[in-house]
Amino acid sequence: MAKSSSRSSSTSSSSGGDPDQRYKRLKMESSSDIEETPINEALVVAPAVGNMKTQAAFVNKLYKMLEDPDTSDLIAWSSHGDLFSVSNPTAFSKTVLPQYFKHNNWQSFVRQLNMYGFHKVNDLIHSNLTNENQTWEFKHPNFRRGAVGDLQHIKRKSAKTQQLQLQHQLQQQQQQQQQQQQQRDLQAQHFEQEQREVQQQQREEQHEQYINNAGNNNNNNNNNSNYSNSKQEDADMQDNNNPVIKHILRIEDHLLGVTKSCEQLFNEVVHLRMVVSKQQDAMQDLVDVVSSSAKSNNNCGCSSNSSNNNSNNQELQNGN
């Protein structure tokens, strides 16, 4: 009875005496996916000197889990007592959760921890990242070993608080992604700049090496001419014994013959063009001679006919 009266007094004081606010608060507590206890057991009186304050049943049960030595192999405090760890979530869900809640759902347990402000510790030093046995660690500033009086400060987050927290986390993730993208861009630019510098240095070194080799070759040509000739002769002899080289040489000889044939054919075509051109000139001269002789013959015929006509006319006149 004292427990229910203290719960009702704390509930009315926290809601400001407004029935609607009290109804919403009770509805939110009853709709939790992990708070399987009745509403009249949702708040448990925490021991305090001179002042009776309440704490959430979930927090109280969680603290009892950690104080139970029979389950210390599955859930236990850290060495400093500022966080707790679950060494085997699968075994913990099957063995420990049903003792305190009406379910054995690990994800629901984690969601409830998040709703009460617990954070997972993402520290590789404290984590055992294996497939068979992965350790989960959670921490809350007011949840510490032996600090029972601070448990009353652990409150369930409202929907608005959760939304603001999610927005804040989303903004932080976006900022981190932008920073990572900027770092990647800077690294890519730096890498490209280094690549260009290395390539430029390699080109300069190759150019210097080429100049040095050219000078050394010019200085050593006279001294190494006999050696080069002997090496060339040896190489020619080895090449002549190679069937592939022989085949290539035959192809080269054939190509040379084809080239010579093409040159001869071209010369013959040029000669034929010259002959045809001369024949055309001769034919044109012959045509000109024939046409000129034909014209002269026509002129002679006309003059003889006119003289005959004149003589005939004179004879006719004399006869008369």
pLDDT in tens, 158-200: 766 666 767 777 787 788 888 888 888 888 888 888 888 888 8
Sort strands 43-46 and 84-86 into parallel, antiparallel or unpaired.
unpaired
- What the block records as the tokens of 246 is 């022989």
Q: How big is the chain by its Cα radius of gyration, in Å?
A: 58
- Does the structure show a pLDDT above 50 at 45? no
How far is Cα 225 from Cα 220, in angstroms, rounded to an integer?
Answer: 8
pLDDT > 60? residue 80? yes
37-47: average pLDDT: 41
Mean pLDDT estimate for the chain: 73
Range with the poorest average pLDDT among 34-43, 81-90, 274-283: 34-43
CA angle 168, 174, 176 (to 5 degrees): 100
pLDDT of residue 32: 46
Whether pLDDT at 2 is above 50: no
pLDDT in tens, 256-315: 889 988 988 999 999 998 999 888 888 888 888 888 888 877 776 666 666 666 666 666
The phi and psi torsions of 153 (rounded to 5 degrees) equal: -85, -5
Average pLDDT score over residue span 62-88: 88
Calpha distance 178→216 (Å, rounded): 56
The H-or-E segment that residue 124 falls in is: none
How far is it, in rounded angstroms, from Cα 219 to Cα 221?
Answer: 6
